Structure formats: C-alpha cells, structure tokens
A and B are shown apart, each in its own frame.
Chain A
Amino acid sequence: MREKQIDQLKDYKYGFTTDIESIKAPKGLNKEVIKFISNAKKEPKWMFDWRMKAFERLKNLKEPNWQKPKYPKINYQDIYYYSAPKGTGEKPKSIDELDPKLLETYKKLGIPLQEQQRLNGIAVDAVFDSVSVATTFKDKLNEVGVIFCSISEAIQKHPELVKKYLGSVIPLTDHYFATLNSAVFTDGSFVYIPPGVRCPMELSTYFRINASQTGQFERTLIIADKGSYVSYLEGCTAPMRDENQLHAANVELVALDNAEIKYSTVQNWYPGDDNGKGGIYNFVTKRGLCKGINSKISWTQVETGSAITWKYPSCVLQGDNSIGEFYSIAITNNYQKADTGTKMIHLGKNTKSKIISKGISAGFSDMTYRGLVEISSKAKNSRNYTQCDSLLMGNKCGAHTVPYIKNKNPESNIAHEATTSKISEEQLHYCQQRGLNPEEAVGLIVNGFCKEVLQQLPMEFAVEAQKLVGISLEGSVG
C-alpha cells in the first residue's frame, strides 16, 4: 500500500497531505454556514448582506451544462465550505509564528516562505485550504503604497476599495459558480497598486487544498490604479484523494487609465490517478476589465492539472486603446478533461486583443478550446488575432476548437487560425538520432510548440512550467 503511494507520488509530487488540525464549518450550504464564514472572518454587516444576496440569487440559478466535459452531479450539501488550519484565528505577525508543519508543507511545495524574506524574491500570499496563512514582504510593499494582503484583511482595513470594486467585473448574478463563490468565498488575495507605481516585485499567491471533502472558493481582486503596473503569479496544488473536490474561484482584475496587469497562472491541481479517479474540478471565473484608456490586461496560463478544467479568463476592453492578451498552454493526459479558452469583448475604440492558445492532449483525455471574440458596433478600428493550435498524441484522445467570432464593426478586423496536428515522425527521429530518448524528444518538441506562451511567463515560473510540461506528458509516448 505504502509502496503504491510512493509510486503515485512520483507522478504527482504535490500529492502529500499535511496533518494539521483544522477548524471546519458544518457541511452543507445554508444560511448558517454563510453566517459562520462571515463571523469567522469578523466581517462587517454589508459583506454578510452581500453574501446573502448572492445566496438568495443562487436558489434561482441552474448549473450551466453546455460544456464538453460532463461530470457527475455535485452534491453541494456534502461539501465543507470552510476549513482553516487551527491557530490562524489570529493572523501571525511574522512568519516565525506560523505552525512549523505549515511551513514544512510550503517548503515541499517549493515555496520556502522564510527564505524568501531574505532572498530578493517574490512577495507571496499563501492560501491553505480556504485561509490566507502568510504574506511575505509586507514592509517593502508598504513603502511604495502597494496593498497586498488577504481579501478578508482588506474587507476590514480597506472597505471603501473592496466595496467599490468587488463584483464590479463579475457581477453577483453572473452564473452559477460565480454566484456560489460570491456567497461562500473564504479568502483570497487583494492587491491595490496606487497611481503611478510600478510594483517593485512579482506578487504571488499559492493556493493549496489540504482537507478532504472541502471545496476551495477563493476570491482575488486586483486593482491597478492610473499608470501603475503589476505582475501577479498564481500557483495551485492539492493532495491526492480519490474523491473529486470542487474549486470555484473568482478572480477580478480592474485596470484604470494607462495601467497594466499581467496575471500568470501555473495550475497544477491534482489531476486524478491514471484511471481517472479523483482529482479537482477546477471551475474558475476569471475576468479582467480594462476600464481606463490605454490600459492592458494580459493573462498567461499553464494548465496541467485538475480532473476537469473549465475556465475562460476574459478581458472586457472598455477603455479606448486598451489591450487584452491571452496566452495559454493546456495539457491533458490520462482521463483529464479541459474546456478552456478566453473571451475578448471589444467595447472601446482602437482596442486590440491577441489570443495564442496551445492545447496538447494525450492518453484518453479530451481538450476543447472555446473562445469568444466580440467586436461591438462602437469599437471602431479594433483588431483581434487568434491562433489556436492543438497537438494530439494517440487516437484515444480528442482535441476540439470552438471559436465564436462576432463582428459588428466594419472598421475592425478579426483574424482567426487554428490547426491540429501530431508530432511528426521525422522530428522524433531527428531528436533520437542525436541521442535523446523518445520521452525527452517529445518533451523538447512540445516545449518548442509551447514556446510562444512560455516566453510570456516570468522567469521563475517559466522554468517550473517547462518542467511541468515534461512531467505531465510522461508515459504518453510509445
């Protein structure tokens, strides 16, 4: 048994669990649980009311069912909506006060929080199960006026900002999972970059689901005020369990005049075992609003994990001259399923968007690119370029492309291209002739295929992502 576990760990190195006592809200979705969460967070009344509004609304909403990967019905009453490591009721002042076991966990994940204090690294906000446990580099960020903290802290300390922007990009009533998140979200990150500030370092959040039968519902809100810039990284892992866990996060980005937000994700949730048992359902709503003129939002994502990935990081290009970008690599192996892509909604004049999507499917997996490009009649002189390429390995998997292209403006241009292919025998032969084994050869070719997207990632992430691409495809050749 133990051997088997070790064997599995080789495939998914984040599959361990941490033995930390946790406080959980009672199972189920009801008014009491929401009250429990709100109380545990010491939230003001307006926040509780907001949650209740979402909960009321949820009763009238139905789960969407147009997606390609179907999943068994989720019993929303059988999930713990709140799980917090014991002892973080009071947030520790410094990292030294943290539970050593927690620190150990993050070390295993490759996020040594303590070392980062010393090294000239990245500011990290770590979210364990549903609660933000540590945020590093606070002082340095305070100096330039950047606010980087957990959202529950922001609700208490910066209510005016939260009130103004929370739900302004993803409205309460958007769709089932977004509304569910609005009702029960537990924690997440909050970033505010003041006018004219270029955030001095990369900001990063690590999400981890530890407890079983919990869902993770985090909420991220990033506001880049006029003329500011921020680059934000997100990583996620979860232990190996043979049940399916739900992850339904909401991420809202707001870019004001001349501001730029770069949001990168390396998603490596537990994908389930080789037979497709267990794994995370990653149903995430991510949306950015280019509110001001000349603003820019760029999404980069590397999706290798999750049993089912179902998300569309989108840009609403409201300000004139604003720019939206979407770079994505999605890899599915074994029985994983992904239905991912983006939406680019052009509302302002001279808006531009670019979509580069690379999908790789192997094993018995199924991958869909689904995207919307919409140019409204007022978005004069707008442009979009979309390229989505798929790579198939074997004939048990599927790769699909479903773009929706709507053009209502004669002065705008939309171009869309898509190809589907496999790794050519010649390329493989050439690499093997030079001494690479077949797996290395595939890794090299796939990395080349993904290069356009990998280049967009910050350096630290790019290295990790490249390795991840290799690991995810292990065993899919031959």
Chain B
Amino acid sequence: MEEQLKIDFEKLLENSNFSKKNVEIKRKNFNDFIEKGFPNRREENWKFSDLNQIISKNIKNLSFYHDLSKPNKIDQSIFIDSLEHNKLVFVNGRIEKIEFDYEEKNKIQILDDLVLEKPNNANNSLLFLNNAFVSKYFKLIVKKNYSLLKPLVIYNITNKDLVSKSVNLKVDILLEENSSLKLIELSNDKSTTNFININYNFDVQKNSILKNYKIDNNSNSNVKYCFNNINQDTNSVSEIFLLSSGSEFIKNEINCNLNGKYASAFVNGIFNLNETKHHEIKTNINHIVENTKSYQLIKGVLEDKSKAVYQGKIFVESKAQKTDGYQLSKAILLNDNTEFNAKPELEIYADDVKCSHGSASGSLNEDSIFYLMSRGLNYQEAKKLLINGFLLDVVEKITDTEIKNLIKNIINL
C-alpha cells in the first residue's frame, strides 16, 4: 500500500495548485501517516475495531487519488423536501453547491483558501492522512450575534463512479459570540467500498449554540471515519445526535473540550444495525474548567451479525470543580452472532464533582413481549413496538422539533 500512497500523493500534488506552505505541510503530514499507517487493534483507541484489518477485508486495491476537476451531477431527489434549508453539497468529495438562500449574506462567510494546521492529536494517523490528501479545505464562519434562520444541511453524496477510493473532507466551522447554527449532515452513498475520512473542527464561542445531527442511514459498503473536534467557550452549548446505521463500518469520534465556565455538551446516539455492519462511537469529553456539564446517551439495537462499540470517556481536570458528567449506554442484542462492546471510562482529578456512568446490554424483556402479546399484538409487532420505544427515548432528546420529526420520519418511528 505504501507504494500506492506515494504514487497517488505525487499525482495529487501535480494536478492541484496548492500554496507552497500547504505543500510543505502536506508532505510532512504524509510522512507522518506513512510512518504510522492505518490504526490497528494494538492502539487502545482501536482495540475493538481494527481499521487496518477492516480496510484490507472490505476494500480491494484502495487508491488515494481521484480526479476532482470535473463537476458531478447532483441527484436532486436526495434533498430533503419537508424542511426549508441551506445547502452545502459534496459529491464524491468535490464541492458542488453552496447555497445560503435564507440567510443574510454578510453574516456568513466561507473561506476555501486556507493554510492547513497541524492536527491537534499527534496519535491519530487518520488526521494526518486527511491533511495530506484533502483537496479543498473549507471554513464556515457565522458572524457575531447571528443565528441562522434555517438549518444548514451538508450533503455527503457519493455515486456509482466512486470505487475503492480514499476520500478526504475537512471542514471548519466557527460560531462567533452569540451565534447559533443547526447543522444536519446527511450522507447518501451509492458508491461501493470506499474509505471516507471526514474531519470537522467546531469552534463554539461565548454564548453560542451548535446543534449537530449526523445521519448515516443509507445502506452501503463504505468504510467511514468521522472525527469531530469541538472547542467550547463560556456558556456555550453543543448538542450532537448520531444516527449510526447505514455504512458497513463507521466510527464517529467526538472530542469535546469544555474550555469555558457553564459550557455544556450533549451527545446522543443510536446504533441501528443489521447484517455484518460494525459501528463505533467514541467520545472524549474534557472538562477543563469548573461548572461545566456533559450528558451522553447511546442506545443500540443489533441484528444478524452486527457489532457495535461504544467508548466514552469523561475527563475532569483538577481545576474543574462542580463538574456534572453523565453517561449511559444500552444495547439490545437480537441474534446469537451480535456483539456489543463498551468501555465507559472516567478519568477524574477533581473532588467536588458528580460523575456517573452506566452500561447495560442484553435481550428484549420477555415479560414486556408477553404483556403486549396478551393485548393482541403478534410477536413481531410486540418486538417492533418495544424496539421503537427503546430508540425513541434518544430521539426525544433532540431539542429542535422540526428536525426531531424529520429524524423520526427517516427511521420510521
């Protein structure tokens, strides 16, 4: 694979016109990636999901360069009809449409000629890969005191033309003071066996609100990794919802730093898996200063031979007194060959804190099924009702009614 990487990297540099500075950074990050390679189970973070193995099992002849010079057609039918929204559309990793029809133009700024920054996590080789191969790196700025009137939907579309490619996307989002953004990321894949590596950086400044809904519901054979880094300032709020269901493999990693007092972070997630799907959610909530709050709720329903992993960590710095941290993960295993692994971790250095976590996994409650059947439902209906109720609990946590209904529709709840 190393040979291929080198050839493709040179091809990329040849065919794009990156600034001198960026080429330099890219080369450095490329070498860092070559040194580390794809992560494997020997790294604690990848203990339950050996990416190296998953890629070599699912993807044959992975190549790292594909031509982004020609525009792709956008399949309009993918767009959400029921909701008025702003659009950012990526097709096969190429930006095809930027549309903020509902917003004041001077309140939003999009930059695409940026100097790359060094990844803030030196152990994460996939961030190096992303930096080395990303072709255009975007930054969205929401100006001070402005709340977007309509949600922004980022469409991540891949079509049939894309086979066995590594696609890298990098988007930074800056919410200046007193601003707010509702962001839906919707992926729709018709492509086969690609490795998609997405890196989001959110900077949520004082009194700002970020609501981020990630929806991966469309069945496909791609392997995905999505890293979200969130920095939160005083009194900011972030709400993240993950629907992890469609791809063959996806790992959503959330690294949230609560840097300002009274900042709070909410992470809610659903695994709804079947066949041989293998999904992971990994969270790192860092309470850096006092009076911060975090809440995490992850629920999973696993069928066939699927496997779900939840690694959640609450870290409390010694200054971060009065921290309130909570974490709960639950899974229902429906078949003999399903597997649920959890590692709910607490690392605490302050004494005046309230931190707890819980994790449970098991089968559907037979008593509840019996009760429903005695009311006239058949076994399948009873099962469906219980599972829906189990998952609905998480969806109900979504604070935006319009988007909540949209998501309910998507997963037929």
Closest to A399 in B: B348
Mask: chain B, 242-255; 1 = CB below 8 Å from A; 0 = not: 00000000000000
Mask: chain A, 404-435; 1 = CB below 8 Å from B; 0 = not: 11111111111111111110000000000000
Q: Which of A95-103, A167-175, A386-394 contacts B (4 or more CB under 8 A)?
A: A386-394
Tell me, rounded to whole Å, the shortest Cβ–Cβ distance linking B326 to chain A. Answer: 10
Alpha-carbon distance between A4 and B291 when the two chains are bound, in angstroms: 44
Alpha-carbon distance between A87 and B87 when the two chains are bound, in angstroms: 87
A355 within 8 A of B: no
Q: Which of A396, A406, A409, A418 is B357 in contact with, Cβ under 8 Å?
A: A418
Given contacts A404-B343, A410-B334, A410-B338, are A394 and B362 in contact (CB under 8 A)? no
Q: Which of B341, B347, B354 is A400 in contact with, Cβ under 8 Å?
A: B347
Given contacts A412-B362, A421-B354, are A403 and B348 in contact (CB under 8 A)? no
Chain A hits for B358, CB < 8 A: 415-418
A66 within 8 A of B: yes
Q: Which of B339, B340, B345, B352 is A402 in contact with, Cβ under 8 Å?
A: B345
A256 within 8 A of B: no
A401 within 8 A of B: yes
A397 within 8 A of B: yes
B276 within 8 A of A: no
Alpha-carbon distance between A406 and B341 when the two chains are bound, in angstroms: 4
Chain B hits for A419, CB < 8 A: 355-356
> B348 to A420, Cβ gap below 8 A?
yes
A15 within 8 A of B: no
Chain A hits for B321, CB < 8 A: 395
A305 within 8 A of B: no
Chain A hits for B356, CB < 8 A: 417-420
Closest to B344 in A: A403
Tell me, rounded to whole Å, the shortest Cβ–Cβ distance linking B352 to chain A. Answer: 6
Tell me, rounded to whole Å, the shortest Cβ–Cβ distance linking B20 to chain A. Answer: 41
> B347 to A398, Cβ gap below 8 A?
yes
Closest to A392 in B: B351
> B361 to A414, Cβ gap below 8 A?
yes
> B345 to A413, Cβ gap below 8 A?
no
Tell me, rounded to whole Å, the shortest Cβ–Cβ distance linking A113 to chain B. Answer: 43
Chain B contributes a number of interface residues (CB within 8 A of A) equal to 36
Tell me, rounded to whole Å, the shortest Cβ–Cβ distance linking A248 to chain B. Answer: 24
Chain A hits for B337, CB < 8 A: 377
Given contacts A407-B361, A413-B360, are A394 and B345 in contact (CB under 8 A)? no
Given contacts A409-B336, A418-B344, are A403 and B359 in contact (CB under 8 A)? yes
Chain A hits for B359, CB < 8 A: 403, 405, 414-416
B350 within 8 A of A: yes
Tell me, rounded to whole Å, the shortest Cβ–Cβ distance linking B341 to chain A. Answer: 5
Closest to A374 in B: B341
Chain A hits for B333, CB < 8 A: 407, 409-410
Q: Which of B336, B342, B353 is A420 in contact with, Cβ under 8 Å?
A: B353
Given contacts A407-B340, A413-B360, are A395 and B345 in contact (CB under 8 A)? no
B79 within 8 A of A: no
B380 within 8 A of A: no
Alpha-carbon distance between A52 and B359 when the two chains are bound, in angstroms: 45
Alpha-carbon distance between A409 and B361 when the two chains are bound, in angstroms: 9
> B345 to A401, Cβ gap below 8 A?
yes
> B362 to A418, Cβ gap below 8 A?
no
B370 within 8 A of A: no
Which interface class (under 10, 10 to 19, 20 to 34, 35 or more) fits A?
Answer: 20 to 34
Q: Which of B344, B346, B362 is A413 in contact with, Cβ under 8 Å?
A: B362
Chain B hits for A409, CB < 8 A: 333, 336
Alpha-carbon distance between A398 and B333 when the two chains are bound, in angstroms: 35
Chain B hits for A414, CB < 8 A: 359-362
> Secondary structure of the B side of the interface?
strand
Tell me, rounded to whole Å, the shortest Cβ–Cβ distance linking B278 to chain A. Answer: 13
Tell me, rounded to whole Å, the shortest Cβ–Cβ distance linking B156 to chain A. Answer: 32
> A397 to B349, Cβ gap below 8 A?
yes
Closest to B321 in A: A395
B44 within 8 A of A: yes
Q: Which of A66, A377, A392, A418 is B350 in contact with, Cβ under 8 Å?
A: A392
Alpha-carbon distance between A414 and B353 when the two chains are bound, in angstroms: 26
Given contacts A405-B361, A413-B362, A413-B363, are A398 and B349 in contact (CB under 8 A)? yes
Closest to B335 in A: A410
Q: Which of A377, A403, A407, A421 is B331 in contact with, Cβ under 8 Å?
A: A407
Q: Which of A398, A401, A418, A422 is B352 in contact with, Cβ under 8 Å?
A: A422
Given contacts A390-B348, A417-B358, A422-B352, are A395 and B318 in contact (CB under 8 A)? yes
> A404 to B346, Cβ gap below 8 A?
no
Alpha-carbon distance between A412 and B339 when the two chains are bound, in angstroms: 11
Chain B hits for A401, CB < 8 A: 344-346, 357
Alpha-carbon distance between A416 and B343 when the two chains are bound, in angstroms: 10
Tell me, rounded to whole Å, the shortest Cβ–Cβ distance linking A313 to chain B. Answer: 20
> A396 to B44, Cβ gap below 8 A?
no
Tell me, rounded to whole Å, the shortest Cβ–Cβ distance linking B229 to chain A. Answer: 23
Alpha-carbon distance between A407 and B361 when the two chains are bound, in angstroms: 7
Most buried by A among B336, B344, B348: B348
Alpha-carbon distance between A414 and B282 when the two chains are bound, in angstroms: 20
Chain A hits for B347, CB < 8 A: 398, 400
> A416 to B344, Cβ gap below 8 A?
yes
Alpha-carbon distance between A417 and B356 when the two chains are bound, in angstroms: 7
Chain A hits for B319, CB < 8 A: 395
Most buried by A among B344, B355, B361: B361
> B339 to A406, Cβ gap below 8 A?
yes
> B361 to A413, Cβ gap below 8 A?
yes
Closest to A404 in B: B343
Chain B hits for A66, CB < 8 A: 44
Tell me, rounded to whole Å, the shortest Cβ–Cβ distance linking B340 to chain A. Answer: 5
Most buried by B among A402, A407, A418: A407
Chain B hits for A408, CB < 8 A: 338-339
Tell me, rounded to whole Å, the shortest Cβ–Cβ distance linking B62 to chain A. Answer: 29
Given contacts A413-B362, A416-B360, are A400 and B348 in contact (CB under 8 A)? yes
Chain A hits for B352, CB < 8 A: 395, 422
Closest to A66 in B: B44
Chain A hits for B363, CB < 8 A: 410-413
Tell me, rounded to whole Å, the shortest Cβ–Cβ distance linking B372 to chain A. Answer: 19
Chain B hits for A402, CB < 8 A: 343, 345-346
Closest to B332 in A: A410
Q: Which of A392, A394, A404 is B348 in contact with, Cβ under 8 Å?
A: A392
Chain A hits for B344, CB < 8 A: 401, 403, 405, 416, 418
Q: Which of B334, B339, B349 is A407 in contact with, Cβ under 8 Å?
A: B339
Closest to A422 in B: B351
Closest to B311 in A: A404
> A418 to B346, Cβ gap below 8 A?
yes
Closest to B359 in A: A416
> B362 to A395, Cβ gap below 8 A?
no
> A395 to B351, Cβ gap below 8 A?
yes
Chain B hits for A416, CB < 8 A: 342, 344, 357-360
Chain A hits for B341, CB < 8 A: 404-407
Tell me, rounded to whole Å, the shortest Cβ–Cβ distance linking B374 to chain A. Answer: 22
> A405 to B362, Cβ gap below 8 A?
no
Q: List 9 A-B contacts (CB under 8 A).
A: A398-B348, A403-B342, A403-B345, A404-B343, A407-B341, A409-B336, A415-B359, A416-B358, A420-B355
Show the binding face of A for B, using Cβ within 8 Å: 66, 377, 390, 392-422
Nearest 7 CB-CB pairings of A with B: A413-B362, A410-B333, A392-B351, A401-B346, A416-B359, A405-B342, A419-B356
Show the binding face of B for A, using Cβ within 8 Å: 44, 318-319, 321, 331, 333-363
Given A410-B334, A412-B362; 10 other pairs, CB 8 A cutoff: A377-B336, A377-B337, A397-B349, A402-B345, A405-B342, A405-B344, A405-B361, A410-B335, A416-B344, A420-B348
